[in-house]
Amino acid sequence: MSLGHTPGSASSVREEVLDNGLRVLIQSVHTAPLATVWCWYGVGSKDEIPGLTGVSHWVEHMNFKGTTNIPREQIKGIIEKYGGYWNAYTWIDQTAYTETATRHALDHMLFIEAERMSRCLYDPSDCESERTVIVSELQGGENDPEQVLDQELTATSFRAHGYRHPTIGWLSDLQTMTRDDLYGYYRRFYVPNNATLVIVGDVDGDDAMRSVVSRFDQVEPGEVGRRTATREPEQLGERSVTVRKEGTTAYLKVGFHAPAAADRDFYPLLVLDAVLTGAKGLNAWASFRMPPPQRSTRLYRALVNAGLASAVSGALLPTEEPYLYTISMTATDGTPLTRLEEAVLRELEAVRANGITPDELRKAKNQLRARLVFENDSITNIAHQLGFFATIASWQMYSTQVPRIEAVTLDEVGLAASERLRPARRTVGRFEPIR
């Protein structure tokens, strides 16, 4: 079969929910002798409270440090011996763990994920050792002016919502958090009723389901409890933040409050982003590593071809709650940020006033259609998309991406532009280098 023709289509995905609440999604894809497992938890940095920022990500690191039945010293090579790859990531809405290996390793991968769900050790000395690793990760981010600006812009755009702080956390929280903070957070959120397990690959659905039941059936459900649920109040006026730091290059970033993935104007804004900066697709794991087709887009022509910027990119990510649509630019050497800012805001005002053309709409849809094929080129990517959308909305949203994009009209894009790109809803971030 061909993945690209029907990735994640509702008819090819088997969905079951165990008695303990674990949601299981299985899709058989027989293009390579491989299987992939993704285990998703509905917890991310937006769920963190002051004093514990960064805890979701630190917990993710701790969940590679051994379990009751996998001693610490046996972690190394546990997947590699099957030629496999494993990894994890934490972001604002979710924490996800993945293994991809030969299909014969499926039960072994499920064993690892079942252990991780309830039996991680949190040895105090491992917690301390990991503290310095994470501080090192944070410092690596601080070396990059674009990351510094992104963090400042996000914190300026959000005043109340948990999306305002970085996933890595604030340094003082990383310095003071305790082993008990980490372990308590782990026990609270790592329960089957807060998880989605996805299996895709060269597997038989019935066999895979039997393995899932035997590995996870005995994991006890738990009470996740009340989460922080502050909604971001509407932004009433333009905000800005200017970072002046030693450096060589100036950066500009403009952010607007965006719709959540399930909101009505998400897809119109996705089309608008394709017109402005090129279509990225919807796979946060894979697509953003491949630059978009963008040389004929409005902002590339107005900024890069005009010599004002060496790079421009847009980002509209599917999220559970309203996050940001951002446009990031690198000023060419010697170009004042004011000129770049005037030029980009002029373009945004033009699209707010006049919308996009039928040709632009057609091209954006073509681009998105192609990108959705390209970003589903492996079982790892397909499984990622099923789990990602299950975590933020529903996995069926993944299987209906193409018709949703096809259904977007000129008027909807025009409305999204005029409403979403209003000056009062934007935040402008500038990085001005001090040489």
Partner 1 sequence: MNQVGVGPAQTDPQPRGLAATRAVLPNGVTVIAKQTRTTPAVTLHANVQAGTVFDPAGSEGIAHFVSRTIDRGSERYLSDQIAEQLDSRGVTLSASVSRHLLSLICTCLVEDFEDVLGLLAEIVMRPRFPAAEVDNRRGEIITLIRQGEDSPAVVAVEALLAMLYGPGHPYGRRVRGTVESVERIDSQALRAFHAAHCGPSVLSLAVVGDIEPDRAIERVHSTFDGWEAKAVSRAEVPSVPATTERRRRVIPMMNKSQTDIAYGFVTIAHSDPAYHAYWLMNNILGQYSLGGRLGDSIREQQGMAYYVFSSLDANLMPGPLIIRAGVSPANVERAVASIDAELAKLVEQGPTEQEVAESQRYLIGSMPRTLETNVGVASFLQMVEFFGLGLDYDVRVPDLLRAVTRDQVQAAARRAVDPGKAAVVVAGPYDGPLP
Minimum distance from residue 257 beta carbon to partner 1 (Å): 28
Q: Which two tokens stand for residue 89?
A: 């990531």
Minimum distance from residue 293 beta carbon to partner 1 (Å): 4
User: Which is closer to partner 1, CB of 233 or CB of 307?
Assistant: 307
User: Which is closer to partner 1, CB of 129 or CB of 214?
Assistant: 129
User: Which is closer to partner 1, CB of 243 or CB of 260?
Assistant: 243
User: Which is closer to partner 1, CB of 188 or CB of 301?
Assistant: 301
Minimum distance from residue 80 beta carbon to partner 1 (Å): 4
Minimum distance from residue 137 beta carbon to partner 1 (Å): 4
If phi > 0 it is left, if psi is from -120 to 50 it is alpha, else beta; for residue 252 that is beta
Instruction: Give the residue from 4, 8, 2, 5 showing the smallest Cα distance to 383.
Output: 8
User: Which is closer to partner 1, CB of 234 or CB of 246?
Assistant: 246
Minimum distance from residue 275 beta carbon to partner 1 (Å): 10
Minimum distance from residue 387 beta carbon to partner 1 (Å): 19
Alpha-carbon distance values, 80 to 116, 120, 204 (Å): 17, 20, 23
Beta bridge partners of 243: 431
The DSSP call for residue 81 is: G
- Give, to the nearest 10 degrees, the angle between helix 266-277 and helix 358-374: 100
Strands 426-434, 251-257: pairing is antiparallel
User: Which is closer to partner 1, CB of 377 or CB of 419?
Assistant: 377
Minimum distance from residue 168 beta carbon to partner 1 (Å): 10
429, with CB counted inside 10 A (0-12, 13-18, 19+), is buried
User: Which is closer to partner 1, CB of 24 or CB of 304?
Assistant: 304
If phi > 0 it is left, if psi is from -120 to 50 it is alpha, else beta; for residue 361 that is alpha
d(CA 180, CA 224): 17
Sign of CA dihedral 146, 148, 149, 155: positive
User: Which is closer to partner 1, CB of 77 or CB of 358?
Assistant: 77
The three state secondary structure string of 293-353 is CCCCCHHHHHHHCCCCEEEEEEEECCCCCCCEEEEEEEECCCCCHHHHHHHHHHHHHHHHH
